[in-house]
Amino acid sequence: MRIWMIVIMLASTLNASFMQSLMNVALDQVATDYAVSLSQANWVVLGYAIVTGAVITTVASLIARFGIRRVMVASYVSAVVGSLLGFLAWNFPVMIVARLIQAITTGLTFPLVNVALLRLSPQNRAGVLLSINSGIIGIGLAVAPLITGLIITYFGLHALFLLPTITSAVLLICGCITLRDLTPRFAKRIDALSVVLSSIALATFMYGLNDVTRDPLPSSALMVFALIMTALFILRQRHLKDPLLDLRPFKTRAFALGETLVVISYMGSVYVSLLAPLYLEGSVSATPFAAGCMLALPILCYGVFCFMSGKVLAKHGVWPLVPLGFVVMICGFVATYFAAEAQLVSMFLVCIALTCAAYGMMYPSIKSVDLEVIPHTEASSGSAIHSTLVQIAGSISSALFVGIMSSDVATARASGATKAAAYAFGFSHTLIIAMGILVIGLVISLFYVRAVKAASRAQVATSPTANSTERSEVGASPSKNRE
């Protein structure tokens, strides 16, 4: 039964990942079909990320109150309902609502699967399962552009929602038969005000960031308001007996630095998944299917290297894996800049593949280490924090990059530039910003390595079974030293 639960969990991750990236190559088609701007079309991605982030903050409480089985079944139901509504969507607002309902599935699934895999994994093998899970997400990201591009090109936008409807219905049936609760249940209170504060903070910040290049003053005011709501949310968690999102894992320095790197690196990956299709469709006139085909192999590199990262981490630790990953990502983005300027599509795709491979090697490693440097009692909270920050990073990067590119395209077209030239200019401009963010990540990664080494030494020193060889291992992954 344990093996079947692991299979169902990994299949659920793949389904949630596919739904999350469902619209990544569809933004230009959404803008065309519904006669809206790119920044407005981007709300099928932004709204999804906002709801996902808000739901994630409740998962630890939901698991405690209702158990893993009921929460997963609820996620499958929301997937079926949202996908059916997306298939029937007769206007843009209905399409947005469909995506918001679908987002509940991803918000419930990602942190819950992390917790379940930690419970289901054999002793000292959690890092391997978590790396496999990240690889599954990578496969979803790689397959989604290919499948969605094919469907949009030959069957239209609405047909996109049929596949997740079917897969979610199958998972619902299998989940009802297979899934069991893995953690004790108790009546943990869900603080409604905290949910409201987090949702308002995410929504207003993303709305402001998405429009800041077109309407700077009111957008900046919205972002400041969002930061105030965030501060109130954090203060409330500190004074609640049962916080909606337990922030204690941040007291572990390695976890805090690692999750900062998660946000930064994930922003780089979102840039690739959202802006690269827009560049191919807008600058080189590729169809959504062609763009999906071209990007499938580069993004698949992420999934392949995710599977490899667990073994590399266990053997070498985070040094030099994480800093080297940032260096390779930066170099890949620099090369991508020149390839995009010259419209060298083959070289552009090679550079994207290099970037995805580097991200796939380091992201699961950071995630695995972060969830193991904190106490086991904080695992659910750490997973919820991680998944929340991933969604926040996705929202920020989507709003920032697509918002800026949309503004650049509109400005360039107004001045008489062709669509291809306008898209190329917007892509290059936003790429420079992405590179700057990754440089900050590289600097932080050096401090992160030191923090992980310190945490590793502390765990070995306090382990009653530690031997002299283990004590000499500096910078190995915490899962390795827990033996």
Q: What is the pLDDT of residue 481?
A: 37
Residue 406 pLDDT: 79
What's the CATH number of domain 2-181+192-481, 1.10.760.10, 1.20.1250.20, 3.40.50.720, 3.40.50.300?
1.20.1250.20
Distance of alpha carbon 279 from alpha carbon 426, whole angstroms: 9
- Residue 447: the pLDDT is 93
Specify whether the CB–CB gap between 367 and 110 falls below 8 A: no
Cα radius of gyration rounded to whole Å, the chain: 21
CB of 298 closer than 8 Å to CB of 346: no
Model confidence at 131, in pLDDT bands (50, 70, 90)?
low
> Which residues in 302-387 belong to E strands, given as ranges?
none
Q: What tokens were used for 341?
A: 């300027």
- Spatial neighbors of 434 by CB under 8 A, at least 6 apart, are 267, 268, 271, 333, 401
- Write the DSSP string, 339-362: HHHTT-HHHHHHHHHHHHHHHHHH
The predicted pLDDT at position 470 comes to 38
* Torsion angle of the four alpha carbons 68, 70, 71, 74, in this order, in degrees rounded to the nearest 10: 150
Count of alpha carbons within 13 angstroms of residue 256, beta-carbon side: 9
476 contacts 454 by C-beta, under 8 angstroms: no
In the structure, what pLDDT confidence band is assigned to residue 199 with cuts at 50, 70 and 90? confident
Greatest mean pLDDT range, 97-111, 117-131, 241-255, 469-483: 97-111
- Domain residue spans in the chain? 2-181+192-481
Q: What is the DSSP letter of 122?
A: P
The gap from C-alpha 320 to its chain's centroid, in whole angstroms, comes to 24
Q: Report, as an integer, the average pLDDT of 105-127.
A: 76
User: Which residue type, as a one-letter code, is found at position 91?
Assistant: N
- CA distances from residue 312 to 263, 275, 315, 431, 475 in whole angstroms, order as listed: 22, 30, 5, 29, 13
Residues in the chain: 483
pLDDT digit string, tens, across residues 228-272: 998 999 899 888 887 877 888 888 889 999 999 989 988 888 788
Of 192, 186, 153, 173, the C-alpha closest to 66 is 186
Give tens-digit pLDDT for 154-186.
Answer: 888 889 899 999 999 999 999 888 888 777 777
- pLDDT of 461 reads 65
**Residue 472's pLDDT band (cuts 50, 70, 90):** very low
As a whole number, the mean pLDDT across the chain is: 81
What is d(CA 160, CA 163) in angstroms, rounded to the nearest whole number? 7
pLDDT at 81: 95
Q: How far is C-alpha 52 from the chain's CA centre?
A: 10
Question: What's the pTM value of the predicted model, to 2 decimals?
Answer: 0.74
What average pLDDT does the segment 125-133 reach? 67
The pLDDT of residue 460 is: 64
Q: Which two tokens stand for residue 211?
A: 């429009």
The 3-class secondary structure across 150-218, one letter per residue, is HHHHHHCCHHHHHHHHHHHHHHHHHHHHHCCCCCCCCCCCCCHHHHHHHHHHHHHHHHHHHHCCCCHHH
Q: How many CB atoms lie within 10 A of CB 17?
A: 24
pLDDT score at 482? 35
The answer, yes or no, to whether residue 57 has pLDDT greater than 80, is no
